[in-house]
Amino acid sequence: MNLKTVLTKDTIVLHLKGTKKEEIINELLDVLVGAGKIKNRAEAFAAVMEREQKMSTGMKHGIAIPHGKSASIGDLVACIGVSDNPVDFDSLDREPCRIFIMTLSPLEKTGPHLQFLAEISLLFKSSEKRNEIIRAETPEEILRILAE
C-alpha cells in the first residue's frame, strides 16, 4: 500500500469550510464521491460515523484520520483535506486539527487498511512535512510533498 498511489489531485482538497467534525467528514465524502471513488455515500457516511462513535480519529499534531469499512467499497480509497482554520476533532492531544485524511476500505480486507494507516502515521510525524502540507497552495503541491 502506497499513499502516493491512492491519492490523486482529485482526492485532495484545500480550504475545507467545515467548523465541526461532521461537517469535515461530509466535505471529505463529497470529494470521494466527486472523484468517483465511492458510490454509496450514505453507507460510507454511516461507516465513518460508526467508527467515530467508538473512538475519535483525531490523532496528534493537528491530524485526524476519519476512516471506516463498508461493504460498498471494493478497494481502499482515500482523500486529504486541509482546513485554513483549526477544527475540534476530539483529538488524543486535545489540540484542534487542520489536516484530515479520510480512508474507506472493504470489510473483508484488513491488510491494505492497516498499511495505509501505518504509512500515514509515519509520514506525518515530521512537523516540517505537516507545516508544508498546511502551507500548500495546490493539490499538486501536496502530492509533491508526499512523494519526497
pLDDT score recorded for residue 107: 86
pLDDT score recorded for residue 42: 96
Q: Which three cell numbers stand for residue 80?
A: 486529504
Q: Which three cell numbers stand for residue 28?
A: 471529505
Prediction pTM value: 0.92
Bridge partners of residue 19, in order along the sequence = none
Which CATH number does the domain housing residue 17 bear? Answer: 3.40.930.10
Number of folded domains that form the chain:
1
Pick the range with the lowest mean pLDDT from 27-31, 82-86, 143-147. Answer: 143-147
Domain containing residue 64: 3-147
Angle, CA of 79, 32 and 131, to the nearest 5°: 25
**Model confidence over 72-121: pLDDT tens digits?**
888 899 999 999 999 999 998 999 999 999 999 998 877 777 788 777 77
Q: Which three cell numbers stand for residue 63?
A: 491530524
CB-CB contact of 75 with 49 (8 Å): no
